[in-house]
Amino acid sequence: MNTFPFNIFPGAGGNWQTFDTRWWSPNISVSFAGDPGIEREVSEDVASYGTQIGWLNDIVVALTKPGGVAADPAAEAALKKLDNARAKIEKIKKRRKATALDKAREALADLGASDRQAYARLVRSLDADKPLGSG
């Protein structure tokens, strides 16, 4: 039996060893129930999942004690942070809820502001029902 970690002799029975590189650099795949864009923006700009869960833990533990959240300064601070995060998350959701037509209008406005000629070609192509490259 070959106990050497690498097979340094080609053709020696195919005893090649492989390293699982995920041990050094794990790939994390998260399946979101909602909009991945919203989830990413919330975790980057508002609070990570771990932070949000920490706030919830502080609040839940305080609720099990006499006096509840009001008697626990850490839990009261966590509740304020959670409420602030909730308001920010609602703003993100509302902003991202734009319809396809709203998004198209916004994209056209951006194109018109940045490249009037490209905007004019696009509008002419739509009016004439011809390919974008012509005209």
Domain spans, the chain: 32-97, 99-135
Determine the pLDDT at residue 45.
93
Confidence of residue 98 (pLDDT cuts 50, 70, 90): confident
Q: Name residues whose C-beta falls within 8 Å of residue 61's C-beta, 6 or more positions apart in sequence.
A: 72, 75
Sorting pLDDT into bands at 50, 70 and 90, what band is 99?
A: confident
Q: Residue 87, exposed/middle/buried by CB under 10 A (0-12, 13-18, 19+)?
A: exposed
Q: Which of 103, 126, 100, 102 is nearest to 118 (CA)?
A: 126
* pLDDT range class, residue 124, cuts 50, 70, 90: confident
Which letter, b or e, does each residue of 90-121 get, where b requires 16 or more Cβ atoms within 10 Å of its Cβ? eebeeeeeeeeeeeeeeeeeeeeeeeeeebee
Residue 107: is its pLDDT beyond 90?
no
Q: What is the pLDDT of residues 13-49, one digit of tens each?
A: 555 555 555 555 555 555 556 778 888 899 999 999 8
19 or 112: which leads in pLDDT: 112
| Mean pLDDT of all residues in 46-53 | 93
Rounded to 5 degrees, φ, ψ at 9 are -110, 100
> CB of 69 within 8 A of CB of 63?
yes
